[in-house]
Every structure is written in structure tokens, then in C-alpha cells.
Amino acid sequence: MSRRYFGTDGVRGRVGEAPITPDFVMRLGYAAGKVLCGLDLHLSEGTHPAVLIGKDTRISGYMLESALQAGLSAAGVDILLTGPMPTPAVAYLTRALRAQAGIVISASHNPFEDNGIKFFSADGSKLPDAIEQRIEAALEQPMQVRTSAQLGKARRINDAAGRYIEFCKSTFPNAFDLRGLRIVVDCAHGAAYHIAPHVFHELGAEVVPIGVQPDGLNINDGCGSMDPRSMCRAVLEHKADLGIAFDGDGDRVVMADSRGQLLDGDQLLYIIAVHRHRNGTLQGGVVGTLMTNLGFEHALDRLGIPFARAKVGDRYVLEMMNANRWMLGGENSGHIICLDKHTSGDGIIAALQVLAAMRDTGEPLHQLVADITLYPQVLINVAVQKRFDLEGNAAIQAEVKAAETALGGSGRVLLRPSGTEPKVRVMVEGQQQQLVTAWANRIADAVRAAAC
């Protein structure tokens, strides 16, 4: 059964346009609550299922949170409210508080005009497709509000931030601390603004916080992992040892070394993988995606570390990790999953694993990536209309074939529709920067022409 509303990461879109409207989100809350109420939850008599709701700092979060509450309450579900909270924090708190599900109101790395609804199951994992399909089916049914005595109640979890801060700190080795390190922490004016600086400070670091003044409109705007230039500049300005930048909902991370040089998700994943490989805790291999740099794959191969590519999207990375029984995977965007630490991708926890490698080896960031050479890779996002026929366009496919011929066996071309916004992502990778850039632009131009 195909899904009408759910994409690769929940339901997402422009606020005020279907499906991100108050009436639809209320019905979504009701449908989700109805499905939950229909599950065998082994609840004691007279109790209701409970759902945890967190959000990022977008101004539209107030409106959508209220709509979700109304729908869930109408279905007889109790609501636990955390306020602004990173997506991985909601995954953790759902599990820790024994809620039946967790909901995050966030569009992650998208601009503030967008928003979305993401779900976690009781164990802190993304909802299985089958449950999402049941929710979509319930959306087609009329709302039948439960009696007044059966309506759900809402209460606020006042210590949610403190609980999550302690959880993050618990994933860092007890034998190490961060004393003596000056770290720039860029929270993208997003959900980690009141979390991440405290984690690193309480572990001993001197923290220079930036991107920690959300106003509802500035999330991801010229800051954070989506635009880490301000983080890199701050590292040089404050003579910091490194910088860490998160996206708006805190599940992605990129870093900068003491020279202000940016390290992407592939490089950070490499540091964690090599450190675990050398101390015998890797537990199998590493899962990447179709976007993972060839240089990363070749670097792991030299060390004898198994590597596998999943489709783009953290849910697909996680599926392959579980299938292979591997503990480590991620995307070059900075979405890194350490399954021995958490059930989902977590920017703060991933950064802590990199810092643990620094402390254990005594080496700075730039030295930890000295053995990996990434191939030039150009990614161009082209805006298209919804349901754009990428595969069926002969002109685009002709350009792709020509590029693959020109690159030979030393490069790759990847075109894919975004799972979170109406765009086609054009990626070209190879050993020669000029050739890669030229072909990426040619293919992107072909997509733009077809989309007109």
C-alpha cells in the first residue's frame, strides 16, 4: 500500500498548505490516537495510552502542537508535552517515560516556513510502515470524539531537558572529560539551543555558544549544520580547539577543526569507525548511503572494515544496520547512528563519540582524518513540481549517461527526488573537481529545463 501523506521522515510541507494545516494535523493526531488505542498495549484498567510531543523552535510549532493535542485528546489519548526538544531527545524520552509513542513537530533542516510531524514507536524507533499505513487509513474515517469522561489529558514534563542532558553525558566514557578544550557550539537557533551547550560544558569544556537565540523565524537561517560558515569563523575568532554545528532538530552534526576546516558526516563517521575498529568495539561494519563519498568507502576498505550502502534516509540506514546487526551507520549530511548508544541518529551523541576518539588517542581532529581523502563531490538541489517524472525524462537520462561515460570508473552520478521537499538532488562525484562540477551543472540545467 502506497502512502499518501507520510514521506521518508513523517509528514512534511509548507505551513498553511496541505497537509501542514491545523485541521489536517488535528485529524492526524486523532487518527494516530485511534490506531494507538486499537493496539494491544497491556494497559491497566482505566488508564489511557500516552503520547509524548516535542517540537523545534519554529513559530508554527505552537499552532501545530495545539492541533495535535486536540486530536489526540479526542481519541482518548493522554499527552506529555516537553516544549522545544531535539528529535533524538523525544525518541529517548518516549522510551524512558514508557509512552506508547512520541511525536516531533519539526521540519529538521528546512527553513522556518516549513514544518512536519514525525513519529516514534514506544521503543524510540521510527514507526514501521505498517503502522503509518494504518494511521493513513484512519485519516479517511470521520472523527468520533470519545465521551467527556474518556477524553485524554495533557501535562508538561518540566524536567525533560535535564533528563536528556544526563542521558547524553552517560554516552561519553567515564574515564575521559573535556577539560582544557574550547568548543564553539552552533545550535542553529533550533531545538538543541538549551541542551547542547550544557552537555559539553558539564563534561568540562569551555563552550562558546552561537545560534542559541531562537525567535521562531531564524531556525537554520545562515547557521548550524546547513550553513556552518559562522561556526568555522567563530572557531578562528575564539581560537577554539574545534567547532560543532547542529541542524534545527539536533539529529545532524558537522564539525570544524582548530584551523576552521569543515568536517562533514562522512569524515566524522570515519573517525568513530576507525576508533572503534582499533579498540575492538566496532561490532561488524559500517552502513552508509548512496550519497556516501567513494573516498570513505576506499578508506574503510584499506582497513578491512566492511561497508554497505543503503538508500538515502536514516530509516533505510537503520534498517540495513539492523539487518546486518551492525552498530554504526550514517549519512554525509551528518546524520550518524550509534545503535549501542541510542535508537536513532543523534547529533550530540555523535559529536561525543568523536570527542571520545580525540581524548583516547590524544590527537586533534585534523589528524584523525589525515588518512581519508574524499573525492570531489558536487550536490545541486533543483526545485521541481511535486511528482516530477525524473526517470521518464529522456533528456535528463541522456545527460546522466554522458556524464557516466566521461567519468569512467572513477566517479558516480546520482539523481534522486528529495523525500522531504519538492526538489531533485543532483550529485556527481569523481577524482577531478573541474569535470565533476561541469557535469553536475549540465545535469542540473537539464532538470531545470524539464521542470519548467
> How do residues 232-248 score in pLDDT, each as one tens digit?
999 999 999 999 999 99
∠ CA 336-342-345, nearest 5°, is 25
Q: According to the model, what pLDDT value does residue 46 have?
A: 61
The Cα 259–Cα 214 span in angstroms is: 28
Q: Tell me the per-residue pLDDT of 259-317, one tens digit each, with 9 for 90 and over.
A: 999 999 999 999 999 999 999 999 999 999 999 999 999 999 999 999 999 998 888 99
The Cα 274–Cα 300 span in angstroms is: 8
Q: According to the model, what pLDDT value does residue 257 have?
A: 98
Please report the DSSP string for 54-78 in residue order: EE-S-THHHHHHHHHHHHHHHTT-E
Q: According to the model, what pLDDT value does residue 255 have?
A: 98
Q: According to the model, what pLDDT value does residue 18 have?
A: 95
Adjacent-strand bridge partners of 132: none
250 alpha-carbon distance from chain centroid: 7
Adjacent-strand bridge partners of 417: 424
Average pLDDT, the chain: 94
Q: According to the model, what pLDDT value does residue 387 have?
A: 75
Of the candidates 270, 271, 272, 245, the one whose C-alpha atom is nearest the C-alpha of residue 256 is 245
Which residue positions in the chain have pLDDT lower than 70? Answer: 1-2, 39-46
Q: According to the model, what pLDDT value does residue 127 have?
A: 81
Q: According to the model, what pLDDT value does residue 108 have?
A: 94
| Axis-axis angle for helices 87-96, 347-361 (nearest 10) | 100
Q: According to the model, what pLDDT value does residue 79 have?
A: 97
Please report the DSSP string for 354-394 in residue order: HHHHHHHH---HHHHTTT--PPPEEEEEEE--TT--STT-H
Helix, coil or strand: residue 219: coil
Q: Which residues are the active-site residues?
A: 108
The Cα 330–Cα 309 span in angstroms is: 10
Which residue blocks in 249-370 are alpha helix, DSSP H?
Answer: 265-279, 294-303, 314-324, 347-361, 365-368
Q: What domains are there in the chain, each with its CATH number? A: 11-160 (3.40.120.10), 180-261 (3.40.120.10), 264-368 (3.40.120.10), 377-451 (3.30.310.50)
